[in-house]
Amino acid sequence: MEKMSRVTTALGSSSISGRTMFCHLDAPANAISVCRDATQVVVAGRNIFKIYALEEEQFVEKLNLRVGRKPSLNFSCADVMWHQMEENLLATAATNGAVVTWNLGKPSRNKQEQLFTEHKRTVNKVCFHPTEVYMLLSGSQDGYMKCFDLRKKESVSTFSGQSESVRDVQFSMKDYFTFAASFENGNVQLWDIRRPDRYERMFTAHTGPVFCCDWHPDDRGWLATGGRDKMVKVWDMTTNRAKEIFCVQTIASVARVKWRPERKWHLATCSMMVDHNIYVWDVRRPFIPFATFEEHKDVTTGIVWRHQHDPHFLLSGSKDSTLYQHMFKDASRPVDRANPEGLCFGLFGDLAFAAKESLISGDASRKPYPGGDRRYPIFFFKKPNPTEQFAHVSSALSVFESSVESRHMDWLVKTARLYLLSGKPFAELCDHNAKVAKELNRPQVSTTWTMLRIMFSDPANLSTPGPNHIGKLGTLPLMNSFSMKEMGTGLVAEGRLERSKGESRQDNLHLEPGNSLINSNNDENEETEGSEGQAEYMFGDAELDDDDLYSMEHENHAAEEQEYTLPQEAFPLRHEIMDNPSAPEHLQQDKADSPHASGNEAEVMCLTPIESFSLISISQPLFSPHLPAQFFCPVVREMLIHYAEQGDVQMAVSVLIVLGDRIRKEIDDLTQEHWYTSYIDLLQRLELWNVSNEVIKLSTCSAITCLNQTSTTLHVNCSNCKRPMSNRGWICDRCHQCASVCAVCHHVVKGLFVWCQGCSHGGHLEHVMNWLKSSSHCPAGCGHLCEYT
């Protein structure tokens, strides 16, 4: 090793120069290796075996080693290595299990020197000893590693990996006798070359195959391994147990890993599948690559640093049949494109925001917050490490806490709880929801509900009260609740049954005769006028005042720049939601669209006192009785989209559900699905499970309704031994008894199970229903007069 470093110093790294360049190969490459003086590179693959000279401006083909009329499988290389001491010596690993050495000094065209066919399966890796000229190591799929003395005809020693395939073998750079081997089952073994009987040490490094390993060129004990589990790990081997000191998570399985010369913390990786880029990582910064080379169009199969002491040149071969020389200065730096700002809402409306320190402190003279919110700026400092070449960004984290009175999510929770989405005639749902909105001081929403009722209630139908009316308006029919087959909703179904009954009774009371409709409308108009409060929208006022908070600039800085320089003036990402200038215009436009619906418009105008003639128009007939409901659909659609865009997705979804078929076709499925998912997400964050479930149930998007079917788990205990039943809900692992048997058919109940809470007998929902038609006694024969609600 000493000798070698002297040689390279004599050579001087200044003699290497070049630029980012590439050349086309005739066939995909499997591996590449570079000669000691960094002037030539050998490329090997199934159908290629060539030596290229690295010149200033280009690659020049020097030699084709693939000779002969019909090249044999010995030329089909899985790996290649150029000896680092002897510049004429090369070794290849063939897919058919042969290990071949080549002597470039041979005068004949065929440079093949030795052929070892001792391995029974594909040889995955060959490795020359770093300082010993004649020592060659191979690792094969058949589970053996063999050490060859090139002066002899066959191997001198065989190391057995206990029939696990060997993926990589690497001699230690510093310990003369040690080598590491990585295996398909995730293990890494350390061997002493003098002791073929047993490995020195073994540890499990990855789950799944370890495709590659590499000793640190300077640090004696460091070994980097990469595996199919998409991880690169750095192990410290100097301690008793191999200790994982760094771990880098990549996005695809790691095919090769190579330490970067002269840079203690850097290593380069490439992937075997899907991802074509080469990454250079600083192991201390495992979350973002230090540099990326993105030139290849197919997976990179071989990477090698051009010179042992020069960190600026990387060579790579790929399945896309190209050979590249990458200049480090041309690499892209993902960190420059990374966004150093972060923003997150807490459950109760708290807002955490991290931004670069320069942004926050430049803002020190800000006006105090009007809403009484407090701000806690927290500054994190990481001591800059001069050896790290990463761009240093110090961020300030601010947490904004909302005060108690402006718990602005309250209205959303209350609305969600109080809104009725189904189970009543359409008109009543609208009225109810309008009332809820009004009580929560949201007059515009309230008015919208009222308008909807007027638009879509057929006046002719309204005048005929009666039970058939319910069905026509598309409320949930009573019996429907039974046909919903869901795991373990027996109780829910009962509850629903009860409620539906109650509602149908109320229906009769609440239905008003048609002629009172106009009066009631007028009443409501006046009410709306009276309660002319400001429209309140979600995401309270306080923190939104601060435009600066949202300011962000995305600019690509020059690659060499180590510091960010952000301009102080920035643009707000979101416009203010508080005062809602678009609303009145929008409604005016509605009016223009539907001149006949002046009566309806009147109500809207109450909100916007700009228009004065609106009050006059009340005296006119409300609307022509022949106007079809479809007429309003475009208006309503725009209204929904408007609400959704304003952030009130609750309103959009609620109206969508209540209107049902009347409006559904007007809005494309993707938008609907988007609204539903947003609302459901919101509800679930607020832990409003019941409401969110109801929404899921009532939605008509298939993508939403199937949410109810995924990941539903119900934990049950066995009725015999009272232990939890881990496996399935109806058979107990411990006592081998079927837990729940139907009292009617004596079979195991696997789906809906109902039981009487008096005698705790029950069974299949359908069976019990049928039974109760004929008898009110318990089907189990216990004599109990069962009561099902």
Partner 1 sequence: MQEYIVVQLSRFFHPQFEFIHSRVKNGALEDLGIRIPRPLGNGPSRFIPEKEIQVSKVDPRTQSIFEDAFAALGRLDNISLVMGFHPQYLENFLKTQHYLLQMDGPLSLHYRHYIGIMAAARHQCSYLVNLHVNDFVQVGGDPKWLNGLEGAPKKLQALGELNKILAHRPWLLTKAHIENLLKAEEHSWSLAELIHAVVLLTHYHSLASFTFGCGITPEIHSDGGHTFRPPSLSQYCVCDIANGNGHGNHPEEKLGNHQEVSGEVEVLMERMKQLQECRDEEEASQEEMATRFEREKTESMLVATAEDDECVPSRDVSRHFEDPYGYKDFSRRGEHVPTFRVQDYSWEDHGYSLVNRLYPDVGQLLDDKFQMAYNLTYNTMATHKDVDTSMLRRAIWNYIHCMFGIRYDDYDYGEINQLLDRSFKVYIKTMVCSPEKTTKRMYESFWRQFQHSEKVHVNLLLMEARMQAELLYALRAITRYMT
**Contact residues for partner 1, defined by CB under 8 A:** 46, 70, 72-74, 76, 78, 94-97, 117, 119-122, 141, 184, 208-209, 211, 228, 252-253, 272-274, 276, 297-299, 485, 706, 709-711, 727-728, 730-731, 733, 736-738, 741, 746-748, 750
Q: Which is nearer to partner 1, 96 or 506 (CB)?
A: 96
Nearer to partner 1 (CB atom), residue 28 or residue 490: 28
Please give the Cα distance from 700 to 697 (Å, whole number).
8
Question: Around Cβ 414, how many Cβ atoms within 10 Å?
Answer: 13
User: Residue 58 CB, nearest distance to partner 1 (Å)?
Assistant: 26
Q: Nearer to partner 1 by C-beta: 141 or 598?
A: 141
> Which is nearer to partner 1, 108 or 711 (by Cβ)?
711
Nearer residue to partner 1 within complex by CB, 148 or 353: 148
We find the least distance from the C-beta atom of residue 268 to partner 1, in angstroms, to be 19
Distance separating the N- and C-terminal Cα atoms of the chain: 88
Nearer to partner 1, 18 or 208 (CB): 208
Other Cβ atoms less than 10 A from the Cβ of 506: the count is: 14
Considering the complex, what minimum distance in angstroms separates the CB of residue 97 from partner 1? 5
Alpha carbon separation from 31 to 46, 181, 436, 606, 610 (Å, rounded):
10, 18, 71, 77, 76
761: Cβ contacts below 8 Å, ≥ 6 apart: 743, 755, 778, 779, 780, 782, 784, 786
CB of 5 to partner 1, least distance (A): 36
* 582-593 and 598-607 helices, crossing angle to 10°: 170
DSSP string for residues in 47-94: S-EEEEEE-SSSEEEEEE---SSS--GGG-EEEEEE-SS-TTEEEEEE
d(CA 213, CA 256): 8
d(CA 496, CA 789): 10
- Identify residue 160 by its one-letter amino acid code: S
Alpha carbons 708 and 307: distance in angstroms, whole number: 59
Token pair in block for residue 278: 């080469």
What's the token pair of residue 238?
A: 């100097």
Tokens (6 digits) for 31:
């591996």
Tell me the C-alpha distance between 390 and 221, whole Å: 25
Longest dimension (CA), the chain: 112
DSSP 653: H
- Token pair belonging to 418: 């109080």
Question: 582 or 737, CB closer to partner 1?
Answer: 737
CB of 497 to partner 1, least distance (A): 22
Between residues 301 and 600, which has the closer beta carbon with respect to partner 1? 301
> In this complex, which beta carbon is closest to partner 1, that of residue 493 or of residue 538?
493
Burial category of 595 from C-beta neighbours within 10 Å (exposed 0-12, middle 13-18, buried 19 and up) = exposed
How is residue 217 written in tokens? Answer: 């060129």
| Least distance CB 164 / partner 1 (angstroms) | 11
Radius of gyration of the chain (CA): 38
Query: In residues, how long is the chain?
Result: 789
Contacts of 430 (CB under 8 A, 6+ apart): 449, 450, 452, 453, 457, 658
**Given the complex with partner 1, which of 95 and 457 has the nearer CB atom?**
95
Q: How far is the CB of 567 from partner 1 (least distance, A)?
A: 40
Three-class SS state of 600: helix
Find the shortest distance in angstroms from Cβ 738 to partner 1: 7
Q: How far is the CB of 676 from partner 1 (least distance, A)?
A: 17
Query: Based on CB atoms, which residue is closest to partner 1, 87 or 295?
Result: 295
Nearer to partner 1, 154 or 410 (CB): 154
For residue 177, is it left (φ>0), alpha (ψ between -120 and 50) or beta? alpha
Between residues 610 and 703, which has the closer beta carbon with respect to partner 1?
Answer: 703
Pairing label, strands 351-356, 395-401: antiparallel
Q: How far is the CB of 184 from partner 1 (least distance, A)?
A: 7
CA nearest 551: which of 363, 332, 720, 709?
Answer: 363
Contact in structure between 391 and 335 (CB atoms under 8 Å): yes
How near is the Cβ of 788 to partner 1 at its closest, in Å? 23
Half-sphere exposure of 486 (CA within 13 A, CB side): 21
Closer Cβ to partner 1, 18 or 751, answer by number: 751
CB of 703 to partner 1, least distance (A): 10
Q: How far is the CB of 368 from partner 1 (least distance, A)?
A: 50
Residue 468 C-beta: closest distance to partner 1, Å: 30
> Distance (Å, rounded) from C-alpha 168 to C-alpha 184?
10
Q: Which is nearer to partner 1, 184 or 601 (CB)?
A: 184
To the nearest 10°, the Cα dihedral for 151, 152, 153, 157? -130
The residue (of 37 and 733) whose beta carbon lies closer to partner 1 is 733
Least gap, CB of 213 to partner 1 (angstroms): 16
Measured at the alpha carbon of residue 146, what is the angle toward residues 216 and 133, in degrees to the nearest 5? 60
473 contacts 425 by C-beta, under 8 angstroms: yes
The torsion angles phi and psi of 458, rounded to 5 degrees, stand at: -75, 115
**Percent of the chain that is helix, strand, coil (3-state, to 5):** 30, 25, 45
CB of 404 to partner 1, least distance (A): 40
Q: What is the H or E stretch that residue 315 is in?
A: strand 310-318
> Which residue lies nearer to partner 1 by CB, 576 or 733?
733
CB of 322 to partner 1, least distance (A): 13
| Smallest separation (angstroms) from partner 1 to the CB of 273 | 4
Q: Which of 425, 762 has the CB closer to partner 1?
A: 762
Judge residue 638's burial from the number of C-beta atoms within 10 Å of its C-beta, 0-12 exposed, 13-18 middle, 19 or more buried. middle
> What secondary structure letter does DSSP report for 304?
E
Helices and strands counted in the chain (H then E): 20, 34
